[in-house]
Structure formats: C-alpha cells, structure tokens
C-alpha cells in the first residue's frame, strides 16, 4: 500500500505542497488578456496572453505541467523580453486551470489536438512571427511527443528554414517517468488501482507529509498555495493517464534538426533520477539539441531559489537563434547514471 501511495503522490508533486508561510513575495503578472479558442463539439481552450499583442517580434508559447495551468509562465516574459516587444501565450490544457473539463484526463490525442489548435491560432493571427515553445514537466513531455506526432511533427524543423512555425523548443524537467522505468510493485499497484478505483482522489496534503517538494522557494509555494486554479485533489485515472503520456514521451528525444534545449535539475523530487537515466539509455545525442543539468536544481526550474540562473540560460538560448547549437553529449555522467 505504501509503495503505490508514494508513487502517486510523487507524480502529483507539481501541486502546491506547502501551507502559506511568511516569505518574500512572488507576484507574477496576471495575463493582459484571456480568450477562448476552438470549435464545437470540442470544448473551448482558455488562452492567456501577456505583452505586445499588436505586432510582436517573437512569440513564446508556454505548455504547463500537471496540476498547474497557464499562469505558471506569467513570471517569465519580463526577464526573457526586457525590450517588451514580444508576446507570451499560454493555455490551460484539458483537465486543468479554468478549462471546462477540469479534473478529468483527456488523453494524449486530445491534448495534441489542442496544442495544434493553439499553434494554428498563433500562425494565423501572427503570420511569419517566430514561435518558441517552453514546456514544463508534463507540458515538456507533450511537446516532446508533438515533435514526432503525425499532426504536428512538420511544425518542428531546421530553425534556419523559411516558413517554419516553431523555431526552437525548451523542455524544462520533462516528465518521462513511464511504466517501464517504475519498479514492478509500483507499476502493478497503479494499474490495479486505476482499474478498481479510477475516481478515487488523492490530496496534495498527503504529498506534503512525505516531503515531496517541487520547489525550494517558500515564496513560490505560498503564492501557489493560495491560487484557486491549481488542481490539488487528483483522481487516480488522471495519474494513470499521465503515466501513459510519460511512457510515450520517454520513447523520444527532441527531433533531429530542431533547435532544442533540455534542462534538468539534480534535486528533482518529482521525476526520479532513475527515470531520466532510463530515458537516455541507448539513445544517440543529436547535434541540434543542447542539454543543461543544474546541480541541486528542483523540478520547478524557473520557480526555485536558483531560478534566475535558469531564466538567464533561457534568455541566452532565445537570443542566439542565428547560432548553431553546439554538439552536446547526453548528460548521463552529470546525472550519475
């Protein structure tokens, strides 16, 4: 019993695990605009926008993690775009935030379809503008899948090729903890529980008792603990669905020829190091991918005490689009695989 509880509560570690405490403020800027896109019969997608909506020089698309929602990127634009000429767009994925399906797992195909709809909206509304995707945790895993999915793969290509929508991608702490990288007792327990009690809910309060922390910054924890749109009570069916998504993502590395940056922290308490090592095993490094391992970095890489270093890394990556990514070996040594 303890094994599957630890597993599930680790998977929901992106939730707020700390009670509000006194800490220096963390006050990301609310979105400038909230719109809804899509067409019937599919539910509308809440899309949040920050920055220059009239004529942006570049567009950053944020794809959030499990239990989080679009405002998880609200703190990034001022640091990544000090000239205030760019536009940050993020959307609440199905099952999360203010989406009408909040609390229900939609499945990978529906999530890919929504990502495609958002990208279509961006390219139609802002033709010719360079798009850079930043995915975090589950969002990074979904972006990884989309690089190889028939519906979206063509959008990722050589950044120097004209007409390509997505110029570069950043994968922050990608959620790649699939079925095969779990111990057998965890795998069997989760499969059994998802069959017998798929609607059973677990609370982040239990995860806090186990000491699972997505961030070491008490200001971030306090801010998110008060956010009513963070998803804190999770059905087992959502955990099983997330595991399916992570399993699919773990079969891939970033697409060859697409400019990408993968960032992992060695103090990640949500995705275990063994899962990252299993992901990288027997896979070739690609010249278009860059890897960065932050020693003592937590899961919320841009919302931790050392988050400024990661944000500076992202700023440098985005500002040097004309330069080829240097050949980077897979970081098995840095992760102590």
Predicted pLDDT at 318: 92
Alpha-carbon span 246 to 134, nearest angstrom: 17
In sequence order, the 6+-apart residues with CB closer than 8 A to the CB of 83 are 57
Predicted pLDDT at 150: 95
Joined together, the tokens standing for residue 296 give: 């003592």
Predicted pLDDT at 18: 44
Alpha-carbon span 240 to 187, nearest angstrom: 10
Predicted pLDDT at 37: 95
Alpha-carbon span 307 to 325, nearest angstrom: 23
- pLDDT tens, residue order, the chain (337 aa): 444 455 555 555 544 444 444 556 788 888 999 999 987 788 999 999 999 999 999 999 999 999 999 999 999 998 899 888 999 999 999 999 999 999 999 999 999 999 999 999 999 999 989 999 999 999 999 999 999 999 999 999 765 555 557 999 999 999 999 888 887 777 788 888 888 888 888 776 655 555 678 999 999 988 888 899 999 888 889 999 999 999 999 999 999 889 999 999 999 989 988 999 999 998 887 778 899 999 999 999 999 999 999 999 999 999 877 666 665 689 999 999 9
Its pTM surpasses 0.95: no
Burial class of 127 by CB neighbour count within 10 A (0 to 12, 13 to 18, 19+):
exposed
Predicted pLDDT at 22: 52
Residue 170 β-bridge partners = 134, 261
Give CATH superfamily name and number for 2-319.
Answer: Alpha/Beta hydrolase fold, catalytic domain (3.40.50.1820)
Q: Where are the domains of the chain?
A: 2-319
In sequence order, the 6+-apart residues with CB closer than 8 A to the CB of 208 are 17, 18, 19
Cα dihedral 74, 77, 80, 84, rounded to 10, equals: -170
């Amino acid at each position: 019993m303890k094994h599957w509880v630890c597993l599930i509560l680790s998977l929901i570690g992106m939730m707020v695990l700390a009670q509000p405490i006194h800490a220096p403020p963390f006050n990301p800027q609310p979105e400038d605009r909230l719109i809804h896109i899509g067409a019937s019969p599919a539910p509308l997608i809440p899309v949040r926008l920050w920055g220059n909506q009239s004529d942006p020089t570049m567009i950053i698309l944020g794809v959030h993690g499990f239990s989080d929602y679009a405002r998880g990127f609200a703190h990034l634009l001022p640091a990544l775009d000090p000239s205030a000429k760019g536009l940050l767009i993020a959307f609440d994925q199905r099952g999360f935030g203010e989406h009408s399906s909040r609390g229900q797992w939609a499945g990978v195909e529906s999530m890919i379809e929504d990502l495609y709809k958002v990208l279509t909206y961006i390219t139609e509304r802002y033709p010719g503008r360079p798009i850079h995707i930043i995915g975090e945790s589950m969002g990074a895993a979904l972006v990884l899948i989309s690089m190889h999915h028939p519906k979206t793969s063509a959008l990722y290509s050589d950044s120097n090729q004209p007409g390509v929508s997505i110029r570069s991608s950043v994968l922050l702490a990608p959620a790649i903890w699939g079925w095969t990288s779990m111990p057998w007792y965890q795998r069997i327990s989760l499969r059994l529980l998802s069959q017998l009690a798929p609607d059973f809910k677990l609370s982040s309060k239990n995860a806090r008792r186990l000491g699972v922390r997505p961030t070491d910054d008490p200001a971030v924890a306090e801010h998110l603990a008060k956010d009513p749109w963070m998803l804190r009570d999770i059905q087992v069916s959502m955990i099983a669905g997330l595991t399916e998504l992570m399993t699919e993502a773990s079969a891939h590395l970033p697409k060859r020829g697409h400019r990408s940056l993968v960032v992992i922290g060695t103090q990640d308490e949500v995705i275990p190091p063994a899962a990252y090592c299993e992901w990288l095993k027997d896979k070739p490094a690609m010249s278009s991918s860059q890897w960065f391992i932050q020693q003592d970095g937590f899961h919320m890489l841009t919302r931790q005490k050392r988050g400024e270093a990661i944000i500076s890394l992202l700023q440098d990556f985005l500002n040097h689009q004309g330069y080829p990514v240097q050949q980077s070996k897979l970081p098995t040594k840095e992760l102590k695989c």
